[in-house]
Structure 1
Amino acid sequence: MTRVLVVDDSTFMRNAIASLLEQDPEIKVVGTARDGLEALQKAEELDADVMTLDVEMPRLGGLETLQRLMKTSPMPVLMISSLTESGAESTLKAMEYGALDFIPKNMSNDRDSFGLELRRKVTALARRKAIIRLKYRRINNIAIPTAPLTRAPAQPTDYVQTPCHGPRDLVVVGVSTGGPPVVQKILSALPADLPACILVAQHMPAAFTGPFAKRLDSVCSIGVTEAVDGDRLKNGHAYVCPGGRHISVRMRGPLPEVAVTDEPRDALYKPTVNLLMESAGKNMGRRTLGVMLTGMGSDGCEGAKVLKEKGGCLIAQNEASCVVYGMPKAVIDAKLANQILDADDIAQAIMTIVKG
């Protein structure tokens, strides 16, 4: 049973979120709070597995609540965000402060879809409770219980890794749930003179990708922008796909360029990682390094098959460092990953491989 604490200053939203969550018999809302101070009090009293947290609240806002929570009662947090630029900026900052993921408030458009996504994310994040508690006990220098914590192995015991040989001047990244902090960790560790261009397909609403790219650009040595159709591939630069659209590689004469399109319109995810990986494989082949990061589902696996067939190589994030071990697991289970690495080691691997 997944136990949830719902925090929102709107009575309507608290009741709506609780009602949608409890449509799953395996989820129980054990408490609600109308502001940050009440949330912190209930977090200490209740043994919740996940907190859903609003950003804008009286007395104590979501960001301040999150910072205090991670010092006193750390747990997985799902931010409930407004679909505005300020909402996006606050949510991205919240993920730096320890929130694992977010979901935009869009019940007015499709309540059923919102509820389904809400339940899926809450269930997935609950699995990280023990890891979150251990992480923040270490950060806060709190005594850690002597009972050992079971962690996933760095890689499947029967998995044979094969080297990725370079040089490769295109890096294509697929990522979803829990992705923004991991993408920031990796890109911010890369040097300005990286001899490769990076394309990022992050499952994220359209209102968020522009602020996400700006935030990355402000903390990275490489340049980061939201992709525009026709952008040229530049070394030392990363392009983030606009939410609700797709990013791929196409050839204009002998030269590759960035394509930002609405097709395929019927794709389950926008952007779809499958299209990015497949187009990179077909057009750039052995010049491509694919990176599959944390995310729910298996988007990117079919495209990764094409990438590998055309001579590309692939890094997959390991289970222990994923918020949700879905997309990397799919390529690992399909025996497509050349290397399985912790999030902390991926930037160094990218530098090594692209330089050859």
Structure 2
Amino acid sequence: MNKIKVLIVDDSIFMRKALESLLSGEPDIEIVGLAKNGKEGVEMAEQFHPDVITMDIEMPTMDGITALEMIMKKNPTPVIMVSSLTKEGADATLKALDLGAVDFMTKDSQSFGGADIEKGLKDKIRKFARNKGVLRLFSHSSSSQSHQTPSYKLSGTLASHTPNVQTPFAHTAQSGNTDGSKRVVVNKTGIKRIVALGTSTGGPQSLQRVIPLLPADLGVPVVVTQHMPPNFTQSLASRLNTLSKVEVVEAQGKEKLEPNVVYIAKGGYHLKFKKVGPSVYTELSTEPSNVFNIPGVDVMVDSIAELYGKECLGVIMTGMGSDGCKGLTNLKRMGGTIIAQDEPTCIVYGMPRAVVEAGIADEIVPLDEIAARISYHVK
């Protein structure tokens, strides 16, 4: 059996040893190099041709962002960034994801020692190593962003740029089709008044290929749970807001849901909702606390489904695990419509797979068609 070759790049002796200790005990993983700065990382990547690289961001001699750019040009490799939990670390991480990094992990006291967290890292390394097609997806994302107008907003006024949104298609899905590689769409069964979207691994990059394509007059609010820690969701919301014609904010709680606004769940809190009179308001909560992901997609969808029922459109995108499946199953029972991202365009086909295999996906479509499908169902 060919072992997965991993290169660890970090200026911290503790982090290098911690990662080495965590991964070297796996029979299918081999640590091929330990680099203490970006320059050594670039050299070792060229020398050892690793399958996966873990890359620190802040390092002397050469930082992780510069090293990532060089590696993606010379020896394209799945790179997992290792970031601090600061706002600066969050901003740098999002930049790294734009440049082609496949995922990130945070430097905090919970990064090691937690069985679920450690297993998650190992699972990601295995998935990225065995699915080199993931680099094609990230290359697409990076190139499309580099040619995109930097901002749709000019001094608070919407710019005239109009995204190239494909004309929505509509035909009846064949019953029983659960192949995530096939396009399956349905005719609308009523206008939706809200969109609930969940995503995880690969989500920050993928959201940049959905939210900026939503029209300024979408007409409904969009609520989003992306598995991310505090600070990261604020940076993600700010980044998406500069790229989009709709307004994108990090939910703070007690906000009235408004049309043409995207609310990103705040890291460390579940995004819930409360109806007061005719209006619906956001709520932040740490309960339930006995779930792996906070914010959680299931929690958000369950909360919004109680208020909107069949008038809610659920969307599930790239991510590991099955978060969202339970909530979307409940939404489906209430008559809601479910869109799942297809397998070929997912960075990790986990969360959409769970929904597709549960038989509750009304539509299975490529990433770059999700925005058009959302527009179709809400207009």
- TM-score above 0.5: yes
Q: Could you tell which deviates more after superposition, 294-303 or 100-109?
A: 100-109
Structure 1 residue 335: Cα displacement: 0.8
The SS at the match of 1:28 is strand
Structure 1 residue 136: Cα displacement: 4.7
* 8 Å contact kept, 2:10–2:59: yes
Distance 1:198 1:49, change over 3 A: same
Q: Does 1:124 align with 2:127?
A: yes
Alignment of 1:171-182 (within 5 A): 171-182=195-206
Match of 1:354 in 2: 378
The SS at the match of 2:104 is strand
Distance in 2 of aligned mates of 1:137 and 1:332: 25
Q: Could you tell which deviates more after superposition, 102-111 or 319-328?
A: 102-111
* 8 Å contact kept, 1:154–1:319: no
Give the alignment partner of residue 85 of structure 1, picking from 67, 87, 105.
87
Match of 1:15 in 2: 17
Alignment of 1:45-56 (within 5 A): 45-56=47-58
Match of 1:237 in 2: 261
Alignment of 1:180-259 (within 5 A): 180-259=204-283
What is the identity, as a one-letter code, of the residue corresponding to 1:184?
Answer: Q
Distance in 1 of aligned mates of 2:53 and 2:256: 42
Distance 1:134 1:342, change over 3 A: closer
* 8 Å contact kept, 1:246–1:261: yes
Structure 1 residue 159: Cα displacement: 8.9
Distance 1:352 1:235, change over 3 A: same
Structure 1 residue 17: Cα displacement: 0.9
Q: Does 1:330 align with 2:354?
A: yes
Distance in 2 of aligned mates of 1:302 and 1:293: 15
Distance 1:189 1:154, change over 3 A: farther
The structure 1 segments of at least 4 consecutive aligned residues displaced by more than 6 Å after TM superposition are 137-140, 157-160
* 8 Å contact kept, 1:224–1:238: yes
Distance in 2 of aligned mates of 1:126 and 1:74: 12
The SS at the match of 2:340 is strand
Q: Where does structure 1 lack aligned partners over 5 or more consecutive residues? A: 141-152
Q: Does 1:283 align with 2:307?
A: yes
Give the alignment partner of residue 339 of structure 1, picking from 363, 367, 371.
363
Structure 1 residue 55: Cα displacement: 0.5
Structure 1 residue 266: Cα displacement: 1.6
Q: Does 1:59 align with 2:83?
A: no
What is the identity, as a one-letter code, of the residue corresponding to 2:290?
Answer: D
Alignment of 1:258-277 (within 5 A): 258-277=282-301
Alignment of 1:86-125 (within 5 A): 86-107=88-109, 110-113=112-115, 114-125=117-128
Distance in 1 of aligned mates of 2:25 and 2:68: 27
Distance 1:112 1:75, change over 3 A: same
* 8 Å contact kept, 2:141–2:209: no
Distance in 2 of aligned mates of 1:154 and 1:98: 30
Q: Deviations over 1:78-125 (max 9, x none)?
A: 000011110010001110111111000124675344533322322232
Structure 1 residue 241: Cα displacement: 0.7
What is the identity, as a one-letter code, of the residue corresponding to 1:280?
Answer: I
What is the identity, as a one-letter code, of the residue corresponding to 2:220?
Answer: A
Distance in 1 of aligned mates of 2:138 and 2:83: 25
The SS at the match of 2:238 is helix
Structure 1 residue 166: Cα displacement: 4.2
Indicate the percent of aligned positions where both proteins have the same amino acid: 40
Q: Deviations over 1:42-99 (max 9, x none)?
A: 2122231111001011222111111121111111110000111100100011101111
The SS at the match of 2:54 is strand
Distance in 2 of aligned mates of 1:91 and 1:135: 15
Distance 1:307 1:54, change over 3 A: same
Distance 1:37 1:160, change over 3 A: closer
* 8 Å contact kept, 1:315–1:338: yes
Q: Deviations over 1:118-160 (max 9, x none)?
A: 22322232233244169759999xxxxxxxxxxxx99447996
Q: Could you tell which deviates more after superposition, 214-223 or 255-264?
A: 255-264
